[in-house]
Amino acid sequence: MSKKVNIFVDGMTCQSCVMKVEKGLSKLKIVEDVSVNLMSKTVTVSVVDGAKVEGLIGVIKRLGFKPKRDELKIEKSSLKLSDIENIISELKEKDTVLVKDEEDILKIKYLKDVVSLDEINSVLEKFKISVKKEKEVRKNIYEDEIKGLKKDLIISLIFSIPLMVSMFFHMFNMHKFMLNGYVQWALASVVQFYVGKRYYINAYKNLKNKSTNMDVLIAFGTSMAYFYSVYKVLIGSVDVYFDSSAMIITLILLGKFFESNAKSNTFGAIMKLMDLKADYAIVIDGDKEVKKNIEDVKIGDIVLVKPYEKIPVDGVIISGNSSVNQAMITGESVPVEKNIGDTVIGATNNIEGILKIEVKSTVENSVLSKILDLVQNAQTKKAPVQRLADKISAFFVPGVILSSLVTLLITYLITKDFTTSLLNSCAVMVIACPCSLGLATPTAIMSGTGVAAQNGILIKSGEVLEKIHKMDSIIFDKTGTLTTGELKVVEIKNNGNLSDDDFLSIIYSLEKNTDHPIAKSIVNFCKEKNVKEIEISALKVIAGMGIKAIYNNEEVLIGKKKFIEEKIGKLELNIENELLTIFISIGNNLSGFVVLEDEVESNAFEIVKKLKEKNIDVFMITGDSEVVAKKVANKLGIENVLYEVMPDEKSQKVLELQKKGKIVAMVGDGINDAPALASADISFAMGTGTDIAMETADITLMNGNLNTLLNSINISEQTLKIIKQNLFWAFFYNIIAIPFAAFGYLNPMLAGFTMSLSSVSVVLNSLRLRKFKF
């Protein structure tokens, strides 16, 4: 037996960091498997059952990273000193729990996958304290990082721009306008050692653990330029290169800032899923109605739910009937009729009727919690594409450092001139500095995502942009994606006993008295037709069934087929979709019916056709009935269709295709799509859908237009082409330039200028994406 533990870790910046953590944790005997997701900053470890997890945190710290824990804060004002001491003593016995005694509060830090909130409360309740909400670390990791990067970037720009201006004056021999060498030294020192300390720290950690990454090369390269410039200032020379060291740090910091912003919303969807959970439930205890926290509701409790309230728990109806909106869980476009014996799902909305529900699962094991787990597990899986530049730099960085040292040694042995040797060595390090290499991918991604945004496509990360065009299978949720998600009246059948005007007036006068989604659609249709309201009496809404009233001394019924049949007997009608058909009877006769339909998007057929032309297999999945699903699929030419599908089944379909080696894209718009969106290799959310779908998805199509899905594929193709060109020229430049620098044909000043020129060429090549036309 083993258990899985997720640890959120700050400080991982590249693929070598991932490899270091995986290698370090894999050495532990208690670890069966370890996987690191750089995008979500999550280390997922499978440990043998009963093993102490605190040891894992210690290893991660020793590797130079910062593991994060969930946190509770408790006010000390109501506690005695002895109580505080006992709380600290008992909690410290629990694995991964840390307790900090501060001035007014106790801070309790722990890993949720190891110690549950209930376990913490079991200790606190002894002292009449109970905590129901906890501070999550997931979002704060990115917020803190972005704030730090933004602050450093602003400082770096303020101190680097004067150095760049001074460098231009130097290039044109306008020395009298240059900044004094000591002033340049002071400005560059702020960038080098205050802003650039992150690179020095990361470089030290990597070298300490016998590994290298781009931080090592950044630290070495900028240090060579900086300290050589310090030397030149001290001997009175104007040939300094402080601008090179400062701008390298500034430009790479800019890329990191945009990268962290792209990652910052990774866990927003999880937080919103948590918010769907009801905070409390009304539990029937004998003759009393007791309001309880949702965590305190137990299996077997009877919960009361009134009209228009959220159903708090998963359970079975033991009294009452109603229509329940399950769209946020199942994706069904029509509220579902619920009667005694039917199951209901927590977080869905009760539209009509009073329900008594027997609880069948606790909040921890609810359908919503399972959806949340699916999203979390999918988001912490390893990304299919890793940063190409980081992989190559694992060999490139030590090679450049070695080349610089060899240059120093050989030149000195030949010339016996240390100054010349140092200049050549410095030129090698400066000209091979990874600025163009570091910019090759992020500048192309920034341009690609910028073009995409201008065309209503929001792409969450560079990894996603790189792989959109690789998809070979795409799964569409039906409602709100291939269809509009809005019910429209498509047919009105009047049997002829009344005029059309009177027939519609009766329907309008009854339906305007309920908030049911179908009724609202009919009312909107009648308003557009300027239908007049008529006088009715004795109106009564029958929850989950329909409405009855008196008109001209006759009973009028409007509602479901079953509701009408209870009054006038069985109806022998061949109707395609009874769920979206409303029947009307007057007296003992059927007067007619109204048919509604979730309309297909106008361009959906053309989009499906073009995707097939790209050899992409198209699937449609929905929580709707077989009749509704197949009707839509046939209209769009989709052969692969699954209906009456629950959220976990949607996710399972994604996984099945992935096991066959398919690169799967998922397109959805609802909360119920979140697990499948998170599981897919590439996920699209319609901008007209829910916030959770948009935050879970990799790409948001802001205007909800499916044409932008095809546009995103084209942008991905062009961006990857630019990235390959940039990387080729970055490495080609280094291969050619390093020998020239090593043999003294490029002094450090010219090397710095050439290095800057290579970076500019990469940026200009990336900017070509802005001219991309669809």
* Residue 183: CA count within 13 A, CB half-sphere: 7
Which strands, in side-by-side order, build the sheet including 98-101?
70-75, 105-110, 98-101
Return mean pLDDT, the chain.
77
What local confidence, expressed as pLDDT, does residue 568 receive? 79
Q: Who wins on pLDDT, 339 or 372? A: 339
Rounded mean pLDDT of 581-600?
A: 82
- 624-648: pLDDT as tens digits: 777 778 888 888 888 888 887 776 6
Which residue did the predictor score with more confidence, 515 or 765? 765
Mean pLDDT computed over 187-210: 84
Q: Which of 152, 477, 598, 673 is catalytic?
A: 477
The more confident residue out of 252 and 331 is 252
Question: What local confidence, expressed as pLDDT, does residue 378 receive?
Answer: 42
In CATH terms, is domain 278-361 a member of 2.70.150.10? yes
Q: What is the pLDDT of residue 551?
A: 84
- Strand stretches in 229-308, DSSP E: 280-285, 288-293, 302-305
Give the mean pLDDT of 736-744: 83
Query: 686 forms bridges with which residues in the sheet?
Result: 701
| Residue 252 vs residue 150, higher pLDDT | 150
Pick the CATH number of 459-483+601-716 from 3.30.428.10, 3.40.50.300, 3.40.50.620, 3.40.50.1000: 3.40.50.1000
2-140 in CATH: which number? Answer: 3.30.70.100
Reply yes or no on whether the pLDDT at 183 is more than 80. yes
Listed in order, strand segments (DSSP E) in 601-706 are: 617-621, 640-642, 664-668, 682-686, 699-701
Which is more confident, 377 or 740?
A: 740
pLDDT band at 190 (very low <50, low <70, confident <90, very high): very high
Locate the domains of the chain by residue range.
2-140, 144-261, 278-361, 389-456+717-774, 459-483+601-716
Residue range 103-131: average pLDDT? 73
pTM: 0.52
Q: Which of 216-230, 261-275, 556-570 bottoms out in mean pLDDT, i.e. has the lowest?
A: 261-275
Once rounded to an integer, what is the mean pLDDT over residues 84-113?
A: 75
Does 502 participate in catalysis according to the annotation? no
Please, are residues 490 and 597 in contact by the beta-carbon 8 Å criterion? yes
- 303 pLDDT band, cuts 50/70/90, is very high
User: Edge-to-edge, what's the strand order for the sheet holding 42-48?
Assistant: 31-37, 42-48, 2-10, 66-68
Q: For Cα atoms 452, 464, 713, give the angle at the middle one, nearest 5 degrees.
A: 50
Q: Is the pLDDT score of 318 beyond 90?
A: yes
What is the per-residue pLDDT for 371?
63
pLDDT at 22 over 70: yes
Confidence at 750, pLDDT banded by 50, 70, 90: low
Q: Is the Cβ–Cβ distance between 98 and 57 less than 8 Å?
A: no
Encode pLDDT of 47-75 as tens digits. Answer: 887 778 788 888 888 888 888 887 777 77
C-alpha dist (Å) from residue 680 to 370, 700, 761: 17, 14, 36
Cβ atoms of 447 and 430 closer than 8 Å: no
d(CA 649, CA 282) in angstroms, rounded, equals 31
pLDDT at 731: 77
Band of the pLDDT at 356, cuts 50, 70, 90?
very high
- Between 576 and 488, the more confident residue is 488
Helix (H) or strand (E) holding 473: strand 473-477
